[in-house]
Amino acid sequence: MILILVLYFLQATQGSVKPFVNFNAKHDAEVLRKAMKGIGTDEDAILMLLAARSNAQRQEIKAAYKKAFGKDLVKDLRSELGGKLEDLIVALMFPSTIYDAHELHKAIKGVGTEDQVLIEILASRTCDEMKDIAKAYKKGNIHCSGTVLVANLRSVCSLIVFQELFAAGEEKFGTDEDKFINILGNRSAEHLRRVFDAYKKIAGCDIEESIKDECTGNLEALLLAVVKCAKSVSGYFAESVRESMRRAGTDDETLIRIMVSRSERDMLDVRAMYKKKYGESLYSTIQEDTEGDYQKALLYLCGGND
């Protein structure tokens, strides 16, 4: 039990957002109410407070706000804020699992599918996280067979069968795509890293090269994302957040989703990988690509300049 707690603490410290010391949900609810009451809104007070609280603490604030004022905090935030700042602050108010389920549902509903959102979330979450997301869907009466499919894709097995992976692609005419999916989807990250090393020795090329040669479209993109996450989740998100800000115009939906979802998981690692890959800090890139209160909130979630 002590070892588990130590490991959990070490993992938790990789987030840029940590539980606020001397937390008082009632006091925070009163501060937020004051920031939204009357003429004008004190956006600074709102973003500084909520970006400095853990997700669990934000849920307590929501409950305290409802109890003290009989009002829904998220609805009040929506009515007082606007634009990208509203999107970011509302995203922070979701419990993390429900936020993932919400983002997946938003990506699937309506005409067309936002495939990159599905790939990002489903390739990077652990098996246990995917099970929780599936439960959130079920609880919300949201049907999504794809979620169940990829929850199975991300489950953990124990056997290493790298010869099968080689035989599924490089060694045969045509590709057994189900074999790629089964092996890449049913091994732990540590296990897969050993598989990739063995695969390179057998095939004479990296697994990414084989996937690009043997698969196409969204399957190719998903399997490449799984490989990247198996090698380094923080490296994958460093790439993703870079892409969200280095196109023609900023992809704010992706930027918000990454900054919110990684802030308590591994933002410090993402920052370190970003600096290593691109030679500049994530903090400075956010400063260059965003502005106003929205920028300020993102920088709080970033947690510092490297």
Is 240 a residue whose pLDDT tops 60?
yes
More confident residue, 101 or 62: 62
Instruction: Please state the domain count of the chain.
Output: 4
* Shared-domain flag, residues 28 and 59: yes
* Shared-domain flag, residues 24 and 65: yes
What is the DSSP secondary-structure string of 179-216?
HHHHHHHSB-HHHHHHHHHHHHHHHSS-HHHHHHHH--
Domain that holds residue 57: 20-81
Structural domain contains residue 253:
yes
Total-model pTM: 0.81
Q: Hey, is 157 helix, strand or coil?
A: strand
Q: What is the pLDDT of residues 271-304, one digit of tens each?
A: 999 999 999 999 999 999 999 999 999 999 999 9
What's the chain's average pLDDT?
81
Q: What is the pLDDT of residues 114-166, one digit of tens each?
A: 888 888 988 888 777 877 887 786 676 444 444 443 443 443 322 222 333 34
* Shared-domain flag, residues 245 and 267: yes
Kindly state the average pLDDT of the residues 208-223: 81
CA distance 178 to 214: 12
- The DSSP bridge partners found for residue 157 are 187
Structural domain contains residue 89:
no
At a CB cut-off of 8 Å and minimum separation 6, what does 220 contact? 211, 212
Q: What is the pLDDT of residues 14-68, one digit of tens each?
A: 899 999 999 999 999 999 999 998 788 999 999 999 999 999 999 999 999 999 9
157: phi then psi, degrees, rounded to nearest 5: -120, 180
Q: Is the dihedral of CA 33, 63, 143, 107 positive or negative?
A: positive
Q: What is the pLDDT of residues 57-83, one digit of tens each?
A: 999 999 999 999 999 999 999 999 999
258 close to 237: Cβ distance less than 8 angstroms: yes
Structural domain contains residue 12:
no
More confident residue, 12 or 131: 131
Q: Which of 188, 210, 231 is the last residue of a domain?
A: 231
Tokens matching residue 55: 């997700």
| Tokens 């979630």 sit on residue | 301
CA distance 120 to 209: 20
Q: Which of 184, 210, 231 is the last residue of a domain?
A: 231
20 close to 54: Cβ distance less than 8 angstroms: yes
Tokens matching residue 193: 């890293």
227 close to 211: Cβ distance less than 8 angstroms: yes
**CA distances (Å), origin 47, targets 42, 107, 261:** 9, 26, 16
* Shared-domain flag, residues 174 and 206: yes
Helices (H) and strands (E) in the chain, counts: 20, 0
Structural domain contains residue 62:
yes
Kindly report the CATH number assigned to the domain that includes residue 294.
1.10.220.10
Structural domain contains residue 45:
yes
CA distance 185 to 199: 16
